[in-house]
Structure 1
Amino acid sequence: MKHLITLVLVALLYQLSNAQVDTTDYQRAEKFLSTNLSKKYYTYWVSPHWDKDQNILWYSNYTSKGTEYVKVNMKTLQKEELFDHVEFAKQLSEQTDTEVSPYSLPVWIKGINEDGLIKYSYKKKNYTYDNTTNTITEVDTPDKNPRNYSQSPNKKITLLISDYNVWLKKDEQDSVQITTDGTQKNGYGVTPSWMSVKNIEDEGDHLLDMDINWSPNNRFAIIGRYNRTNARNLYLYKSLPEKGNRAEVYSYERPLAGDSLTATIEYYLFDAESNSIKSMDFEPITTFLTYGFRWDTKGNKAYYMKYKRGYQSMDITEVNMLDLSKRTIYTESASTYVDPMTSVFKLLDDGSFLFVSEKDGWNHIYRYSTQTGELLNQITKGEYVVRSIEHVDTKSKTIYFTAGGKEKDTDPYLPMLYSVKFNGQSVKLLTPEKAEHSISIWADKNVFVDNFSTIQEPNIAVLRSLKDGRVLKTLEQGDASEIIKMGWQAPEPFKAKGRDGKTDIYGVIYKPANFDPSKKYAIIEGTYSGPQTIRAPKSFRRGLLNDDTPLAQLGFVLINIDGMGSAYRSKAFHDVSYKNLGDIGGPDKIVVMKELAQKYSWMDTTRVGIFGHSAGGYDAARALLAYPEFYKVGVAAAGNHDHRAAKAWWPELYMGYPAGANYDEQSNYYNADKLQGHLMLIHGDMDQNVNTASSMRFAAELIKANKDFELLIIPGKDHSSTYYDKYVIRKRWDYFVRYLMGVEPPKNYKIK
């Protein structure tokens, strides 16, 4: 009875202010799906390829007529077609015996060879196209590199992995076996691919990835040896078998948060001078805690970066390959965590290294002596966040980096490019536009391509001087005119105060189609609380192509808010989520939405829904459990509903190790009895990232608590494909229309 009364009240509220949702609304929403809008957003991005021999940059460009290939002469800055598309299509039509469109070429353009010929591949074969004579020539296609061998930089030495052992081949000599004690459980140079799943009835191993790291001097190779004795499996039940009627069971090796026993890695050194391999005497370490080796320019020393379980400490160790002596040159620890998602270790050729750290409360660049480990100086300082190191010029002692929040009165999430000297002086802003900037540097020419946009202004791609940021040439300007004609409205950015009344919180609002400020609209929050990223878009493309845009076409207000605990702000802001992922930034989001509703009378905070995928799926369910007085409807897809059911590194980074009481407190399993609103759980039965058992176990707890909810398992879908599934999209629309608007959606609407 209570459920029926709620539905009636919601329906009455909605009918007082809005029209019925019908097939026409769904058809409009379908037009605004990312897959459809992306076909109407033209010249939106330049991903440059630099060709030093031809002195050009070239790129593919999506236009209203299709894909064209463009080159820019770096001497004259003149822009023209990379080749004659019409003639090339004509030649391809003859070659393939099919009709080929000039701007829909069925080939992969690889670049230009030393003779100025266009290199491309078609159906796994390689060809060249002579743009002057309009001739196509097939060239030798080398065997595709198998996953079991690795070549030295000079291509003269090959290390092969066969039956988990190392074999050596030099030049034209026969292969020689180097190790004999490798086994599947403790093998050299290979580890199961992260996303590999295997039918348990199939013989053999998982798909394996190589782990062989060559020195630049061609003498040494570091080889990982993976001890999988303690590796544990997760399983997937494939309801749609490849053939027959028996469902199939698939397995994959995956450590979970809190596991005391895991697969480990040790390192061995191959020396090409003696054709020998020996242990580097590293203590075995859990595989997800190692971040690999960096070589010095001579190739006789390598630097090893690793973390401890829980990520509260990391160190960098120097290894001398000539005698395998070791010394720790840098250690960092924190009471919360040292974040590998923001830390950057960059070895320089002047006897120093750079490390990006949050240790002063903001993410900044520090420079240390490689010889002594001594801090030489802190290069960047202030209340802003270094986002990346794009390039280091050791000759001029200049670092090029992106950062957000350095400029006053600017959204702190917008990365801009700067240059700074090693001594921290002469800081220059090279991209002054208040926009999200994506950078691609050609250091040899002292230029870079800058793609920049806001959520309201389409992308502009320009070629700039690396010296001062001066625009040398505008390459492309994004064209969204067709989308605007469809009635699309750009999302609106906002800033408001968070839970403490002091901290600025940022987000965006999508107004509903046919917006009428005199009406009341239900609110849907799209969520992904991080902590390694943010949800609110900052670029035009992300603001346009997402799950929020079509929902707004159904008559909802869509909102994204990045609350405390998410990324790209101060360390204190970030640490709010430490051992506290269940917070999901909720207190900030609720305060902000209520504040906005006071400003905008058309926002109805009595009808708030939320949806998300993966960690966002956890958020959506958690919102209904932790803040039931505010969030009324949730759609949770592929959610990791207990952080001990997720891949180990992510929860151990943000929730701590070992898995303590905070895991119970913030588990959706343990809080299932708190559900009051309407909840739909969605999961693919082949999800190898967040195992399907996560939603199934949460469902079991909801059943135990006698709670009404919906569970939708999508057969044959993995983690990412569930996100894009058209049936899932439609069911999400239906759920919000039914329970936030209080009306029945069109029955069995099919997204085409």
Structure 2
Amino acid sequence: MSRIGALTRAARGSATQTLAKGSKSLHPPLAPADFKRALTINDRYGGLTVNVPKMPFWLTGGEALVYRRTSHGEQQFMQVDAATGFKRPAFDQARLAAALNKVSHESYQAGNLPFDRFELSEDGRRLDFQIEDTRWSCDLASYDCTSTTFDARKGDPRELSHRYTPPAENNPDKSNASPDGKWIAYIKNCNVFLRSEDGLQDVPLSRDGAEGNCYVFSTLSWSPDSRHLAAYLVRPGYRREVRYLNSSTDQLEREYSTIFYPRPGDVLPLPQPVLFDIAGPRQIVIDDALFSNVFELSALRWWADSRGFTFEYNQRGHQLYRLVEVDAATGHGRSLIDETSETFVDYLPLGHGQEDAGKIFRFDVDDGKEIIWASERDGYEHLYLFNGRTGALENQITRGEWVVRRVNHVDPVKRQIWFEASGMNPQEDPYWVHAYRIGFDGKGLTALTPEPANHHIEFSPDRRYYVDLWSRIDLPPRMALYRASDNAKLQQIETADISELVAAGWQPPLSFHSKGRDGKTDIWGVLHLPANFDPTKKYPVVENIYAGPHGSFVPKSFSRWTEPLTQLGFVVAQIDGMGTNNRSRAFHDVAWKNLKDAGFPDRILWHKAAAAQYPWYDISNVGIFGASAGGQSAVSALLFHPDFYKVAVAKNGCYDNRIDKTWWNELWMGWPVGIEYSQSSAVDNAHRLQGKLMIAVGEMDDNVDPFCSFQLADRLIKAGKDFDMVYVPGANHHTLGTYTERKLLDFFVRNILGQTPPDWNTKPIELE
């Protein structure tokens, strides 16, 4: 805050003098060199940091941790022996890159290998890693590499509902052996069969499978005692497809492709758990009364004593999430834990990403005698201890007006939990994550990361050590190794150096917060300041928006990333308004059936508060841009808040939630599809457009159907509205490229600064 205060005092002290001179020339003409700097600034800054570590991971065994650090634009894998502290390069990256290029016919660079994690064999002689859908294994003596391809969709039980329907199976060569080795289960003609170990017996377990209702091999699950087998029988849903035409090819012919793309309201695949008694053999019917309206069923998980199995039921509409137990002897099901909500249950796994976080977590203690469960039932994300036999709540483990963000480790012997949380320290940014330890009984809460910053810890597999990586937007990363038993610091592994970056003109964003629409809740954001910032001048404001309810998005950790618009004299703001994640439940619920809100009432108040505090913050002609859900919000700014937002650029946006993917939209907008979808639709509200709008869309976007963008364009045309549109051949959701970035810069320069951008055709700017 001291830096903000200093800027404020400087600005206020000079504002009167500036205005007294009557100067109106606040935006000197931009030159082509300014645009070149804007388009290349991040490439230039990328080579000016030293020893910046990325997220660490531990090798199997727990004796060594690995991380990737960046120095002068080159990335290097480093390995640290936890016991001795010895640090060295993990392997010869130049030899590995050469070996990969030889067999893959690619051109990988040693300083930018295309994977983030790897595994070493126990003898340390083989390196295994994954590049897209290919698994690689390389001998570290000869650097000979071999590869195998795989289907990343297979084996994911969540794929059995809304995302993917397995084809009818008829492959007896794919088999699943019982734990005692006496039987082999396989699928033939969509039914479950058993083959004896000696191959003399071949027994059909089911007869109800058919191409329209097929057993799925990847779900076959044996009880530990080999007496029972469970599986999912899946009835396919409606197979909606999106067809693509790629006009950016190396041939003289266009290319066509198709993807499976269910939408909100579509009939979904219906998985049904089925139980088989091997001794009979017989099929035991499981009543589906507890899970009759399926959006998603999790993997089947057997208790170690084989008394039954469990699965998690996500009801369509996302207002009920239930832990179901099925008794192996009777097939009787019962609910152990019910998580309910009048709005939505955020069913993504807790700690899904460092910024994106769902709310579901489960840990079975002593074969299910107790269950640790995450819930927002008191208004904040916390941990609870349930009796796994009766389903009764034993006690709430964590409590308070703060949120659990991640569970790092559960120690059932010491009955302790290591977890990460944010918002516990009132004097700090409520999004900063810290690490803690607490007992199952809710006692002994211990803070482990005292530094005021955003932290992330990773435990070694044997739980003897953990590494803490922390930074702030104004402080480069630090990484240290600790002993878990007493939290003693063993080694400072890395301290990033950004002196060259700062000397080149880089400056961190400014943190700012103000009260939201309720007059009580703090709304947090950052300001990216213009190049050569002078607090005696005024600067136009453009907001970079992303308001997806699945996470919070304002940066909290260090990044050298510089908003290109700042190089052209703009202040760029980022704000987490109400409706985003990682605060209270009430804060989050604003998004329900109301994605058009996007936190705009909070964002506008935030901008006005910033303008009141900083005389250089000019909100007379505010711009806004965003991509994907941010694209939807950018358009909504002009449709629903044209009195404040005047210029918008929307990239690959989801402008009508009925057109986009099922899971994301039904989670926040509800099911069945109701009038709220139309109320939040930019397509249905296109006639409201005021201000200046540019739409950019990638031809091959397989995340958000490009149809969304064309539907919006069609309605704008029919409503007689004027707008710009950029269509990028061959581009997908994340690759709109430098051309689109240049068009974005041009659009804001023309419509906010009132200046004419360079003539790119007559005098092209070399960006290399």
Q: Under a length normalisation based on structure 2, what TM-score does the superposition of the two structures give?
A: 0.83
Cα contact 1:32–1:550 (8 A) shared by 2: yes
Tell me whether 1:32 sits opposite 2:41 in the alignment. Answer: yes
- Between stretches 693-702 and 91-100, larger displacement belongs to 91-100
Q: Retained in 2: the 8 A contact 1:120–1:128?
A: no
The change in CA–CA distance for 1:639 and 1:432 in structure 2 (over 3 A counts) is: same
Match of 1:457 among 467, 475, 485: 475
Corresponding residue for residue 709 of structure 1: 723
> Residue 514 of structure 1: CA displacement?
1.4
Task: State the partner residue of 1:128.
Answer: 139
Counterpart of 1:128, as a letter, is D
Q: Could you say what secondary structure the match of 1:306 adopts?
A: strand
SS at match of 1:645: coil
Three-state SS of the structure 2 residue aligned to 1:607 is: strand
Give identity over the alignment, percent. Answer: 34
The match for 2:743 is 731
- The answer on whether the counterparts of 1:167 and 1:175 sit within 8 Å (CA) in structure 2 is no
* Maintained 8 Å contact 2:176/2:220: no
Question: Which range is displaced more, 470-479 or 224-233?
Answer: 224-233
Q: How does 1:312-351 map to 2 (within 5 A)?
A: 312-340=319-347, 341-349=358-366, 351=369
Compared CA separation, residues 462 and 445, structure 1 to 2 (3 A) = same
Greater Cα shift, 97-106 or 632-641:
97-106
Shift of 1:367: 0.8
> In the alignment, does 2:649 pair up with 1:639?
no
SS state at 1:634 partner: strand
Distance in 2 (CA, whole Å) between partners of 1:413 and 1:320 is: 42
Moved more, 635-644 or 47-56: 47-56
Partner of 1:263: 269
Q: Secondary structure of 1:289's partner?
A: strand
The structure-2 alpha-carbon separation of the partners of 1:688 and 1:14, relative to structure 1 and needing over 3 Å to count, comes to farther
SS of 1:573 mapped into structure 2: helix
Aligned to 1:584, the other structure's residue is in SS state: coil
Per-residue Cα deviation, 1:142-184 (whole angstroms, up to 9, x for no partner) = 8968958575697968766677565667879699695676555
For residues 91 and 717 of structure 1, the distance between their equivalents in structure 2, rounded to whole angstroms, comes to 30
Equivalent in the alignment of 1:575: 589
Task: Give the Cα–Cα distance (whole angstroms) in 2 for the partners of residues 96 and 289 of structure 1.
Answer: 38
Number of the residue aligned with 2:713: 699
Report deviation, 1:40.
4.2
Moved more, 110-119 or 153-162: 153-162
Structure 1 residues 563 and 161 mapped into 2: Cα distance closer, same or farther (>3 Å)?
same
Cα deviation, residue 506, structure 1: 0.5
- Give 5+ residue unaligned stretches, structure 2: 1-21, 155-170, 348-357
**Shift in Å, 1:421:** 0.3
Task: Show the 5 A alignment for 1:116-265.
Answer: 116-119=124-127, 126-129=137-140, 135-136=141-142, 149=174, 182=209, 185-189=212-216, 210-212=218-220, 222-240=230-248, 245=253, 248=256, 250-254=258-262, 256-259=263-266, 261-265=267-271
Match of 1:558 in 2: 572
Q: In the alignment, is residue 586 of structure 1 matched against residue 600 of structure 2?
A: yes
**Residue 671 in structure 1 maps to residue 685 in structure 2:** yes
**1:85 CA displacement:** 7.2
Q: Tell me the residue number matched to 1:621.
A: 635
| C-alpha separation in 2, matches of 1:507 and 1:411 | 10
**Does the 8 A contact of 1:430 with 1:470 survive in 2?**
no
8 Å CA contact 1:302–1:318 kept in 2: the answer is: yes
2:29 is aligned to 20
Equivalent position to 2:506, from 468, 479, 488: 488
The one-character-per-residue Cα deviations of 1:326-354 (angstroms, maximum 9, x if unpaired) are: 11111132222222121322222261111
Per the TM alignment, residue 517 of structure 1 is displaced from its structure 2 partner at its CA by: 1.8
1:662 aligns with 2:676: yes
**What is aligned with 1:79?**
87
Provide the TM-score with structure 1 as the length reference: 0.84
Structure-2 separation of matches of 1:247 and 1:494: 48
Q: Tell me if the contact between 1:684 and 1:716 (Cα under 8 Å) persists in the aligned partners.
A: yes
Q: Which residue of 2 aligns with 1:9?
A: none
**1:577 Cα offset (Å):** 1.9
Aligned to 2:568, what secondary structure does the other structure show? coil
8 Å CA contact 1:264, 1:285 repeated in 2: no
The correspondence for 1:747, drawn from 737, 759, 766, is 759
2:687 match: secondary structure: helix
Structure 1 pair 607–379 and aligned structure 2 pair: CA distance change class (3 A): same
Pair 1:55-2:63 in alignment:
yes
Corresponding residue for residue 7 of structure 1:
none
Deviates more, 1:603-612 or 1:45-54: 45-54
CA RMSD of aligned residues (A): 3.7
CA-to-aligned-CA distance 1:546-605 (integer Å, 9 cap, x gap): xx6222112110001111121111111111222222111111111111111121111111
1:509 offset after TM fit, Å? 0.3
User: Structure 1 514/336 Cα, relative in aligned 2: closer, same or farther at 3 Å?
Assistant: same
Letter matched to residue 538 of structure 1: K
Shift of 1:268: 3.3
Moved more, 575-584 or 97-106: 97-106
Whole-angstrom distance in 1 between the partners of 2:96 and 2:243: 49
How many Å apart are 1:695 and its aligned residue?
Answer: 1.4
SS in 2 for 1:734: helix
How big is each residue's C-alpha offset from its partner over 1:240-270, in whole Å with a ceiling of 9 and x where there is no partner? 468554563634241x2234x3332223346
Contact 1:527 1:616 (C-alpha < 8 Å) held by counterparts: yes
Q: For 1:348, give the aligned amino acid.
A: V
User: Where in structure 1 are there 5+ consecutive unaligned residues?
Assistant: 1-12, 130-134, 191-209
Cα 1:321–1:480, aligned 2, differ >3 Å: closer, same or farther? farther
**What's the secondary structure of 1:494's corresponding residue?**
strand
- Deviation (angstroms), 1:519: 2.0
